[in-house]
Amino acid sequence: MAPLSPPPACVAAIACDSYESATVEAALRQALAAAVGGLEGVVKPGMTVLLKPNLLSARPPEQAVTTHPAVVAAMARLCREAGAARVWIGDSPAGLHPEAVLWERTGMAAAAAASGAELKSFAGAVVPRPVAGTHLPVPAWLAEVDVLINLPKLKTHGLTVLTCALKNPFGLVCGEAKAMCHAKYPSPRSMAGFLVEWFAAVRPALTVVDAVVALEGDGPANGAPRPLGVLVAGTDAVAVDAVCARALRVRPAAVPMLRLAAARGLGEVRHERITVRGDGAERLAAVRLKPSKARWLQWLPEPVFQLATRLLRCRPEIAAGLCVQCGICIGVCPRQAIHARAGAAKAPERIDNGACILCMCCVESCPRHAIRIRSPLDLWNRLVGGQRGRL
């Protein structure tokens, strides 16, 4: 007898036109009903629930770099309604941002206060979590969590094409250890493989994507907000990312991270095996998010990646007018390639291009958009733009 095929993955895509509290909660209820038959199928009375938003850095919600607090607060309220004893909100950002500043600027402090949730620090005791032949530090309190709910933001990404359901749990790794992972897995392909291993180690029970306003262009930190008006939900994070990839007009199987996850049996990547419910699917299919200029890096094998990025001088650069010498990029760089300018109060930090591995940790962590990646496409874009201006 031939083996039975697994049932199709179910993903909900529900229209949500604003971050107004009642609008978000109504759309979230619809998404949960369509995806899992209601939150009661995931959260049971007495459970401790961790809500894991994307808190990449201390940015205000309107920049669309982090998960909007309205989505986090609505989910926290519904978890309470389902009987959760404790609802926690937590994430470890890129860079050493003071947690009080991170929570305040991202709106998480207000979200917790409005919903009765508790903000959890990643600065305390840690325990090792085995993954990919090594151990990475996670908060000791993570052992008390019964249900992990993944709340990513839909964004483009220079190294992984998109950052959404599969990549968001990486934020459970504490502090500087995330940067060390970039040093160990420097190319897009090697990092994609590691992220799949990490996802397999922590696997959230449910994912709800904030795509009410997505981030396009040079994500995950320096792109532009793009209203999509959608919440996407499902228990299969691979299928959720495959549906969200429609907004980028990208074949999910062409994204290394999704292809590897599907091959490992972590989820469904084939559109014909994914059932999409809700009125938001048409919205995702009707747009095309502008991709990152660095998206071509994903296709390069690691030796070619290292050679090509050096020959093409594809490296981060710091804008003198924006850098305030806060030192966050210095602390997050896994290769100590960024240095303070001695005796220069107003000069930007200095980058040693020979030591840089193009991990983009500095770009992701800078709170002032002061660091960007130089790309060989910049000159082409300027030339094309100049010609168009003459037409």
Encoded tokens for 271: 């559109």
What is the mean predicted confidence (pLDDT) over 288-296?
81
| Residue 330 pLDDT grade (very low, low, confident, very high; cuts 50, 70, 90) | confident
| Residue 388 pLDDT grade (very low, low, confident, very high; cuts 50, 70, 90) | very low
Whether residue 41 has pLDDT greater than 90: yes
CB 163 within 8 A of CB 258: no
pLDDT > 90 in the chain, percent: 63
Distance in angstroms (rounded) separating the CA atoms of residues 239 and 340: 44
| Residue 390 pLDDT grade (very low, low, confident, very high; cuts 50, 70, 90) | very low
| Residue 94 pLDDT grade (very low, low, confident, very high; cuts 50, 70, 90) | confident
Distance in angstroms (rounded) separating the CA atoms of residues 280 and 30: 11
Most confident listed range (3-7, 69-73, 334-338, 387-391):
69-73
Distance in angstroms (rounded) separating the CA atoms of residues 115 and 88: 10
| pTM (global) more than 0.85 | yes
pLDDT at position 365 is: 80
pLDDT at position 308 is: 63
Q: Which fold has domain 295-390?
A: Alpha-Beta Plaits (3.30.70)
| Residue 387 pLDDT grade (very low, low, confident, very high; cuts 50, 70, 90) | very low
Strands (E), the chain: 9-15, 48-53, 86-89, 118-119, 126-131, 134-139, 147-151, 153-157, 161-163, 206-216, 224-234, 274-277, 316-318, 338-339, 350-351, 371-373
CATH code 3.40.50.11440 region(s) in the chain = 9-286
Residue pLDDT, tens place only, 160-200 = 999 999 999 999 999 778 888 878 887 888 899 999 999 99
Whether residue 264 has pLDDT greater than 90: yes
| Residue 129 pLDDT grade (very low, low, confident, very high; cuts 50, 70, 90) | very high
| Residue 8 pLDDT grade (very low, low, confident, very high; cuts 50, 70, 90) | confident
Residue pLDDT, tens place only, 204-218 = 999 999 999 999 998
CB 177 within 8 A of CB 137: yes
One-letter amino acid at 311 equals: L
pLDDT > 70 in the chain, percent: 87
| Residue 386 pLDDT grade (very low, low, confident, very high; cuts 50, 70, 90) | very low
pLDDT at position 320 is: 82
CB 227 within 8 A of CB 284: no
One-letter amino acid at 147 equals: V
Distance in angstroms (rounded) separating the CA atoms of residues 170 and 264: 18
pLDDT at position 119 is: 98
Q: Is 309 left (phi over 0), alpha (psi -120 to 50) or beta?
A: alpha
Helices (H) and strands (E) in the chain, counts: 13, 16
CATH 3.40.50.11440 for domain 9-286, yes or no, is: yes
DSSP letters for 38-57: SGGGT--TT-EEEEEE---S
Q: Is 347 left (phi over 0), alpha (psi -120 to 50) or beta?
A: beta
Distance in angstroms (rounded) separating the CA atoms of residues 247 and 242: 10
Helix (H) or strand (E) holding 307: helix 302-311
* Residue 265 to residues 152, 199, 259, 261, Cα–Cα distance (Å): 21, 12, 10, 7
Distance in angstroms (rounded) separating the CA atoms of residues 79 and 76: 5
Whether residue 252 has pLDDT greater than 50: yes
Torsions phi, psi of 237, nearest 5? -65, -30
What is the mean predicted confidence (pLDDT) over 5-14?
87
Helix (H) or strand (E) holding 178: helix 177-184
Whether residue 78 has pLDDT greater than 80: yes
pLDDT at position 335 is: 79
| Residue 293 pLDDT grade (very low, low, confident, very high; cuts 50, 70, 90) | confident
Within 10 A of 246 (CB to CB), how many other CB atoms are there? 23
pLDDT at position 104 is: 97
One-letter amino acid at 158 equals: G
Q: Mean pLDDT in the chain? A: 88
Whether residue 247 has pLDDT greater than 60: yes
Whether residue 337 has pLDDT greater than 50: yes
End-to-end CA distance of the chain: 66
pLDDT at position 156 is: 95
Least confident range of 92-96, 132-136, 140-144 = 92-96
CATH code 3.30.70.20 region(s) in the chain = 295-390
| Residue 343 pLDDT grade (very low, low, confident, very high; cuts 50, 70, 90) | low
